[in-house]
Structure 1
Amino acid sequence: MTRISEIAKICNVSKTTVSRVLNNHPYVSKEKREQILKVMEELDYAPSSLARNFRTNKTQTIAISVPSFDHPFFAQLVKGVSLAALENDYKVLIFQTFYDAKNELDVMGKLKNREVDGVILGALENEWNVIKPYLKYGPILLCNEYHHSASIPIIGYDEFEATYKAVNHLIEKGHRKIGFCYDTSYSQAQGQRKEGFLKALADHDLLHNDDWIFGHGFSIEDGFRICDEIVKLKEKPTALFTGNDQVAAGIIKKATALGYKIPECLAIVGYDNQSICQVTTPTITTIDIPIMELGQRTVIELIKYLNEDLKLKRDIIKLPTELKIREST
């Protein structure tokens, strides 16, 4: 394998001069630079990324952790992150935690060992006091997640406001018995959604029913299960905020098969505005969120801290959401 010393000898320059050309530094004449680049091309020289990383103390690699890559939301989020990273000459390592706190700590280990320059957490599986010590090794950002005291940038949506307008829409359609679904893990972001749900009910003097609160709603199969739970209830909700388009699609499919008319018997509002919303029968009313933009914005924020050597600080960035009204309400 060709070495810098060989190139330097052929060009009759020092190894420092060759290194300056490799790193695009000044103080090398145009003629000498062109000569060195020509010799590199002739020898098919490829600089060692490990050596370059050692000199700059950077890997040009960032990590993102998500609970599950096969969910449409996280697939789009990762796509947005990857595109923005590529545009800024960064590589991306993708980790699936499967909602396991130990797997999330494996990602933190990559940061501690200088295998990545920074980390994006698409969910938060550990308590914040477990993650916080890793900040001394590099920047960590929360994306699509919220924490009331984390001293880092948080990029997401106004979960409270989005849920409030979804539930308010159901109330405006005449519903008084409204249920609520939350995600597989009851995070603080999910807590904000529940607060929005309860506030919308309270503003219209409506009470919530604990029997109409359904947990572990993440997939289409979860929608099937939740529909079965609703059917068994003596007093049933007439409307449901599912918090997830996959769950909404599952409920619609199962309820329709059981003879329930949507939205006459059960109105449904999803969350994310995935493609599945437009192919179900009926189509799904949902909260539209800019998922790709979320991933891209998070990478831009992370690179800002990496390149400008800024001190990490708490900064909450909320992207806009919009209620998309379709046939399920």
Structure 2
Amino acid sequence: MPNIEEIAKICKVSKTTVSRVLNNHPYVSEEKRRKISSVIKELDYTPNSLARNLRTNKTYTLAISVPSIDHSFFGQLIKGISNEAFVQGYKVLICQTFYDKQNELKVMNLLRNNEIDGVILGTLENEWTVIEPHLKYGPILLCNEYHEKASLPIICYDEFEAGYKAVRHLIEKGHKKIGFCYDTSYSQAQRQRKEGFLKALAESNLQTRNEWTFDRAFNIEDGFRIFNEINKLNEKPTALFTGNDQVAAGIIKKAIVNGYEIPEDLAVIGYDNQLLCQVTTPTITTIGIPIIELGIQSVLKIIQYIRGNEGVKREIIRLSTKLIVREST
């Protein structure tokens, strides 16, 4: 079985250079990279990952914590994270919390027990004070979510901007009775989105009503439920910012079954720009977000901390969103 030392001798380079090629690190000329890669292929060399892990005290494994892989958003996020992790020489352990705080803590214990090198949190189930002590065991990064006090890297979207854009569009379409859907009331990202929603209303001297605000908006079934709640109201909203494409699809489906015209009787805006938006009738106006880019940036940032000597620090990267107008408005 060939080893790195033999490959280095054949290529007349150092073992460090061979290692850099194996781990896709920079600082290797293209000529050397091609030559080393050719010899590795010719010798059918396979790195001994266990020996490497023992030598470097690294597992080369990241954990991504998400509520559920069934949701198309988290499926896309996992795709972006997994692809970039492989490029960087890391494996990904996918952990589903099912919105359970204890399951999230089990992921933290993987870090504590040195079974993984870092954690990417797709949501935050526990209070930050519960998660913070685990930083001493390795880097933790928060993506897709926001926390105003968490002392860790945060990669998210400009939620205020998204809420503002969505409602401005509905107002420009002539709507004055606009409702809002959110998944969890304690999510700070959701609160920022609602602040943008309220800012746009205030600029046009409009107000929303408590009965036009709907919580627990996660999936298509929730969309069905929310429409049923709307349909029972004496005074109904004429437009909804759902904050979720699946919820938007559920509302539209149920509304049409009940004789509503979309968008004449009820205009609907989603969030995420999933493929679902393009196959419904009518197609769904939504907020487009760079989910794959979110995954890529999350991997690059956490590996930066894994490879560095400094502890993680608070830094916020906000990715821009885009209003995509379709038939539902």
The TM-score range, normalised by the shorter chain, is 0.7 to 0.9
Cross-structure match for 1:229 = 229
Q: CA deviation at 1:197?
A: 1.1
Cross-structure match for 1:31 = none
Q: CA deviation at 1:214?
A: 0.3
- Number of aligned residue pairs: give it: 304
- Counting only pairs closer than 5 Å after superposition, residues 261-276 of structure 1 correspond to structure 2 as 261-276=261-276
Cross-structure match for 1:257 = 257
Letter matched to residue 278 of structure 2 = Q
Cross-structure match for 1:170 = 170
SS where residue 179 of structure 2 aligns? strand
Q: 2:184·2:190 contact (CA, 8 Å) conserved in 1?
A: no
Q: 1:73·1:274 contact (CA, 8 Å) conserved in 2?
A: yes
Letter matched to residue 271 of structure 2 = Y
Cross-structure match for 1:322 = 322
Cross-structure match for 2:66 = 66
User: Aligned equivalents of 1:215 and 1:317: distance in 2?
Assistant: 27
TM-score by length of 2: 0.87
User: Aligned equivalents of 2:18 and 2:327: distance in 1?
Assistant: 58
Q: 1:184·1:218 contact (CA, 8 Å) conserved in 2?
A: no
User: Aligned equivalents of 1:233 and 1:25: distance in 2?
Assistant: 66
Q: Deviations over 1:99-157 (max 9, x none)?
A: 00000001100000001000000000000000000000100000000000001110010
SS where residue 268 of structure 1 aligns? strand
Q: CA deviation at 1:259?
A: 0.1
Letter matched to residue 113 of structure 1 = N
Q: 2:271·2:287 contact (CA, 8 Å) conserved in 1?
A: yes
Q: CA deviation at 1:326?
A: 0.7
The answer on 1:313 being equivalent to 2:319 is: no
Q: 2:282·2:328 contact (CA, 8 Å) conserved in 1?
A: yes
Cross-structure match for 1:201 = 201
User: Aligned equivalents of 1:152 and 1:104: distance in 2?
Assistant: 17
The answer on 1:49 being equivalent to 2:59 is: no
Q: Report the more deviating stretch, 309-318 or 154-163.
A: 309-318
User: Aligned equivalents of 1:179 and 1:45: distance in 2?
Assistant: 60
How large is the Cα RMSD of the aligned pairs?
Answer: 2.5
Q: 2:177·2:237 contact (CA, 8 Å) conserved in 1?
A: yes
The answer on 1:114 being equivalent to 2:114 is: yes
Q: CA deviation at 1:208?
A: 1.3
Letter matched to residue 147 of structure 2 = H
Cross-structure match for 2:97 = 97
Question: What are structure 1's unaligned runs of at least 5 residues?
Answer: 12-19, 27-33
Q: Deviations over 1:30-85 (max 9, x none)?
A: xxxx9xx99xx6xx996653332122110111100001101000000000000000
Q: CA deviation at 1:183?
A: 1.1
User: Aligned equivalents of 2:128 and 2:212: distance in 1?
Assistant: 30
User: Aligned equivalents of 1:251 and 1:47: distance in 2?
Assistant: 52
User: Aligned equivalents of 2:302 and 2:232: distance in 1?
Assistant: 48
Q: CA deviation at 1:23?
A: 9.4
SS where residue 323 of structure 1 aligns? strand
Q: 2:185·2:191 contact (CA, 8 Å) conserved in 1?
A: no
**1:244–1:55 distance in 2 versus 1, CA, 3 Å:** same
Q: 1:162·1:287 contact (CA, 8 Å) conserved in 2?
A: yes
Q: CA deviation at 1:185?
A: 5.9
Q: Deviations over 1:84-103 (max 9, x none)?
A: 00000000000000000000
Q: 1:99·1:185 contact (CA, 8 Å) conserved in 2?
A: no
Q: CA deviation at 1:25?
A: 7.4
Question: What are structure 2's unaligned runs of at least 5 residues?
Answer: 7-13, 21-35
Q: 1:277·1:283 contact (CA, 8 Å) conserved in 2?
A: yes
- Counting only pairs closer than 5 Å after superposition, residues 75-224 of structure 1 correspond to structure 2 as 75-184=75-184, 186-224=186-224
Q: CA deviation at 1:207?
A: 1.3
User: Aligned equivalents of 1:148 and 1:114: distance in 2?
Assistant: 28
Q: 1:112·1:137 contact (CA, 8 Å) conserved in 2?
A: yes
SS where residue 191 of structure 2 aligns? helix
User: Aligned equivalents of 1:292 and 1:47: distance in 2?
Assistant: 29
TM-score by length of 1: 0.87
Cross-structure match for 1:14 = none
The answer on 1:290 being equivalent to 2:290 is: yes
SS where residue 85 of structure 1 aligns? helix
User: Aligned equivalents of 2:17 and 2:311: distance in 1?
Assistant: 26
Q: CA deviation at 1:184?
A: 4.5
User: Aligned equivalents of 2:249 and 2:18: distance in 1?
Assistant: 54
SS where residue 263 of structure 1 aligns? coil
Q: 2:117·2:138 contact (CA, 8 Å) conserved in 1?
A: yes
**1:25–1:263 distance in 2 versus 1, CA, 3 Å:** closer
SS where residue 63 of structure 1 aligns? strand
